[in-house]
Structure formats: structure tokens, C-alpha cells
Amino acid sequence: MTVEMSATNSAIPGSDLTVVAQALHEEVAGSGLVPPAETGPTAHRLAALARIYGNAPFVPLEQARHELGVDRAGFERLLELFTRIPALRAAVENGPSGRYWTNTVLGLERAGVFDAVLARKPTFPHLVGLYPGPTCMFRCHFCVRVTGARYQASSLAGGNEMFASVIDEVPAGNRDAMYVSGGLEPLTNPGLGALVSRAAGRGFRIVLYTNSFALTEQKLKGEQGLWDLHAIRTSLYGLTDEEYQATTGKQGSFTRVRANLARFQQLRAEREAPIRLGLSYIVLPGRAGRLSALVDFIAELNEAAPDRPLDYINLREDYSGRPDGKLSPDERAELQDELNRFREKAAQRTPTLHVDYGYALHSLMMGTDVQLVRIRPETMRPTAHPQVSVQVDLLGDVYLYREAAFPGLAGADRYRIGTVGPDTTLTEVVETFVTSGATVTPQAEDEYFLDGFDQAVTARLNQMETDIADGWGERRGFLR
Ligand code: SF4
């Protein structure tokens, strides 16, 4: 077994640490950092370290050091060696929890935004969520939205002017600095196409998160700017009208979404439009067995435009952590089988489809059931992380967490840090919040305002803060 192969395996449960460590011997011996007699134990500890961080990315360094039973000098040496052996880094990134590293942490590290948060530097948010939808045609049972809550149609004109000013304000350089989502359904805003064109004109790649109920041919004709999107990611709520109705409360909605997506595929093929099309599918309780039908659905969509098949799908578990979204242990075992069947079938029927299994499902497929990061009110950060991301709704209100920006949501106004308007820029809103030293004291159930991204960011910041307090400032956060 090569160093690369065996070390890359070291974060996989069941892989033999001794075998992995043996493969590392040569590299450790060649480093000159450890005496020959220490080579074996050091290689073993390096493999164990990869296993720890491949499974639990947000462990503080002191905790890892205690688990390995080494003193601080020895641990420092281990960390130094770790950085010199690329296969170990790959092992962490490919571990059961590797998606936390690759999907979220490492990109933000490269941008330096975690350091800005900890230093309380008022930088412009790295990611800005634009939530332009005044309403939504669905009533999803898991949606936090207050039934019937919407923004007044009279807010649209002023709201769209405000969004245009935010788009103009976002610094160039990070092409993925903005996305369009909700809140409510973005396509219910008739000015969306113009906003997308404006952003694309400045070089931004905008991804639209939508339920695609309103993504009709007529809409696409009337709002040509939608063709300037970088990608459309459709949340799929079932695979039959009955499933859709059970989830969204709307009759016949699957038939319509399917028709919209198929037509969209034909239109983008005809126009040779570079826009990407993806799906997001949450495996709800009772629906693990539907994954095979999901491949059939995608294959059927692809028949609408064989030369432009669907680009990607993101499979997710319900990330909210609410008890009614949880799968039973039996169903989790079933889900593991179904996911592997899905992978095989997708490779055959939809070979070009990119599948992202997210933090949790990726680990489940690898045979572990790692605990998802779960932030609680006591581990929420009173200063949050506006330098990493904020969300702006149709009224210009700026929210700290992704699930807080819904109209009329009880308690969410505590996470509103200001309002963008004719006399106030987003830069000023964030700057005022950060420099004033304002804090939000979390209350019970506030953790539901955080989505999976917010949770990972919070866990990372807490970890870094602990490492720094423990005297590991130079090494804080393990990988970066
Ligand atoms: S989850 Fe999305 S599509 Fe469903 S009701 Fe809420 S805003 Fe609408």
C-alpha cells in the first residue's frame, strides 16, 4: 500500500491505524524531526490525528492532544509533521466529516474571514444572501415561515432599488459573493431578472435557490435577465403530486415543476446558455426508499435535452435538527443502503451528474454516523459572524442567520442588525454592529435560526477561539 493510499484511509472507520502508520514510517524518519526510536509511535499518532479531524473537524487542539496522550512539545512536533505530509491532509479532507472542511471551512480560511470575525474587524460580508421574494406559493410543513406572512406588494419597487444598491456595493474580487434565496420564493419578485443582470454585469456568478413552481417559459421570456444566472438550484419536494402535496400543501405542483424543469432544459439547450441547473433534495422521514425513483426522475428530465443533462444534485438530510425531521435508527440503516444504490444507479443512468452528499449523508455512506455539528443557544456566538455572511430581505433588513430572514418570525428581529436604505449602506450596517460591540443574547430554540452553514461557521469560530485561548494561536483550527 502506498503512503498516499493508506494515509488517505486513516480517517475511515475500520481502517487499521497500524497499517496506516507503517506506510508513514519513511516520511516521518526522513523529516529529521523525531529520533529513530520515536518514528513508529509518531507515525501512529499522526494517523490517529488524521482520524480525529477527519471525523470531528471542530475538536479543539487541546482535546486532541489529550486524546493522543502527548505533551505540548510533542504535540507541536506532530502538528508540524502533519503539515509536511500531504497525504495526511487528504485523509482529513476525505474523512467521514471531510465535507465540513472542503465545502465550508477551507474556502473561508483562504479568504481570511474567520480571523476578521475573531479580531472584530468590520469587513464587508464574504457572502451576501439576497432574499427578494415577497411571498411563496407553497406551505411546506417544515418551513419556519409564519403561515400567510408576506411582504406587501408596495415594498417591491423600493426593495428592488435597495437590492440594486447592495449589488453595486459588493466589492469585486469574489465572484461568488452573492446568492439569491429566501426567506420566501425569489421568483415571486418580478424584478429579479433585472437584478441578476445587474450583478452579472459586475462579474458576479449568481445562484438562484428556488422551488421552480414559477419558472415557466413565459416567465423566462418576460424576464430575460434570469438567463444571466450562473445556476438555478431547485428544491425538490417529492417525486409525485401526492408527495408534493403532502410536503408543500399544493395540488398538482409536482407536475408543474417537472414540466418547468424539462422545458427549461430544452430552452437552455436551444440558446446554448451556460447557466447550470441543479436540484436539492432533502430525504424526509419515510422517503429514504425514494432515492432510486429520484434517479429515474433525473434521467427522464435529461431526455428533454440529451446534450444538456442536469448538472448536479445536492442530497441532504433535514438539517434543522428539529425532532420531526429526524430519521429513525432503522430508517438510517435503510438510508445507507439506499444511498449506495442511488450512487450506483446514478453512475449508470445519469453518468455526468455531480452528486454532493453534504456533511451528514457523506459520512453515513462511509459507514459512520458522525454526529452533525449541533449548535445550542449556549454555544451560539453573541457577536455572530456578519463578516462571513448576512442576509438582506425585501425591506433592506439585514439578518445574522439564514433562517431568521422570514417576515413576522417570532424572535427573529433580535437577529436583525440594521436596515439598508437610501441613506445607509450594507457596509455601514455591518460596521455599526461590529464596532459598537453589540451582542445578541441567545434564547431557547434560537439555534433554529442557523442553517447547516451557520452552524459549521459557529463551530469553527468557537474552536479557533478555544485554541487561541489555550496558547495554540499559531496552529489554531488545525487545517487551514
Ligand atoms: S420551504 Fe421554501 S418553498 Fe416551502 S413554503 Fe417555505 S419558502 Fe416556500
**Position in ligand 1 atom list of the atom nearest CA 136:** 8
User: Could you tell me the strand order of the sheet in which 276-283 lies?
Assistant: 354-356, 312-317, 276-283, 231-236, 207-210, 178-180, 127-131, 389-393, 397-399, 416-419
Q: Per-residue pLDDT for 318 more than 90? A: no
Residue 112 domain-assigned? no
Alpha-carbon distance of 43 to 58, in angstroms, equals: 22
Closest ligand 1 atom number to CA of residue 211: 3
What is the predicted pLDDT for the residue at 74?
A: 94
Spacing, Cα 174 to ligand 1 middle (Å): 28
Q: What does pLDDT average to over the chain?
A: 91
What is the percent of the chain where pLDDT is above 70?
A: 93
How far, in Å, CA of 57 to CA of 51, rounded? 10
- pLDDT tens track for 343-398: 999 999 999 999 998 878 887 887 776 667 889 999 999 999 999 999 999 999 99
Predicted local distance difference test score (pLDDT) of residue 307? 93
Q: Could you tell me if the CB of 182 is within 6 A of ligand 1?
A: yes
Residue-level pLDDT at 167 = 98
Strand, helix or coil for residue 233: strand
Q: Has residue 9 been placed in a domain?
A: yes
Distance 143 CA to ligand 1 centre (A): 6
Q: Which of 138, 233, 243, 256 to mutate to test the pocket of ligand 1 (most atoms within 8 A of CB)?
A: 138
- 406 CA closest ligand 1 atom index: 7
104 lies in some domain: no
CA atoms of 110 and 115, how far apart (whole Å): 10
pLDDT in tens, 433-456: 999 999 999 999 999 999 989 999
Higher pLDDT, 12 or 21: 21
Residue 35 and residue 154 in one domain: no
Tens-place pLDDT, residues 413-424: 999 999 999 999
Rg (CA), the chain: 24
For the cut 90, the answer to whether the pLDDT of residue 76 exceeds it is yes
Is 136 near ligand 1, meaning CB less than 6 Å away? yes
CB contact at 8 A, 126 and 111: yes
**Same-domain status, 23 and 144:** no
145 touches ligand 1 (CB under 6 Å): yes
Q: Is 400 a member of any domain?
A: yes
Q: Would you say the CB of residue 407 lies under 6 angstroms from ligand 1? A: no
User: What is the mean predicted confidence (pLDDT) over 278-307?
Assistant: 93
Q: Work out the percent of the chain whose per-residue pLDDT is above 90.
A: 75
Identify the domain containing residue 19 by its residue range. Answer: 3-95
What is the C-alpha to C-alpha distance for residues 21 and 452, in angstroms, rounded to an integer? 34
Cell 417529492 belongs to 238
**Residues 6 or more apart in contact with residue 22 via CB below 8 angstroms:** 6, 43
Cell of 405: 430572514
Do the domain assignments include residue 103? no
| CA-wise closest residue to 43 among 65, 62, 25 | 25
Q: Is the pLDDT of residue 326 over 60?
A: yes
3-state helix, strand, coil in the chain (%, to 5): 50, 10, 40
Give yes or no: residues 403 and 451 share one domain.
Answer: yes
Q: Is residue 114 situated within a structural domain?
A: no
Is the predicted pLDDT of residue 319 greater than 60, yes or no?
A: no
Amino acid occupying residue 109: E
Q: For residue 145, which atom of ligand 1 is closest to its CA? A: 6
Our mutation pick for probing the ligand 1 site, out of 139, 140, 233, counting the most ligand atoms within 8 A of Cβ, is: 140
Helix (H) or strand (E) holding 178: strand 178-180
Stated as kind and residue range, the H or E segment containing 18 is: helix 17-31
- Backbone φ and ψ for 385, nearest 5 degrees, come out as -150, 55
- Name the residue among 428, 419, 415 with its Cα closest to residue 382: 415
pLDDT at 316: 87
- Residue 131 CA to ligand 1 center (angstroms) comes to 12
The closest alpha carbon to 92, from 64, 55, 42, 67, belongs to: 55
pLDDT score recorded for residue 346: 96
Q: Give the nearest ligand 1 atom to 247 CA.
A: 4
The reply to whether 214 falls in a domain is: yes
- Rounded to whole angstroms, how far apart are CA atoms 5 and 222? 53
Residue 235 alpha carbon to ligand 1 centre in Å: 9
466 found inside a domain? yes
303-334 residues labelled b (16+ CB within 10 A) or e (exposed):
ebbeebbbbbbbbbbbbbbeeebebeeebeee
Q: Are residues 248 and 329 in the same domain?
A: yes
Whether residue 138 sits in one domain with residue 60:
no
DSSP 302-367: HHTSTTS---EEEEEE--S--GGGPPPHHHHHHHHHHHHHHHHHHHHHSTT-EEE-HHHHHHHHTT
**Ligand 1 pocket mutation, candidates 135, 151, 185, criterion most atoms within 8 A of CB:** 185
User: Could you tell me if 407 and 373 lie in one domain?
Assistant: no
- pLDDT of 194: 98
Q: How far apart, in whole angstroms, are the C-alpha atoms of residue 326 and residue 284?
A: 8
Is residue 421 located within the same domain as residue 449? Answer: yes
1 pLDDT above the threshold of 50? no
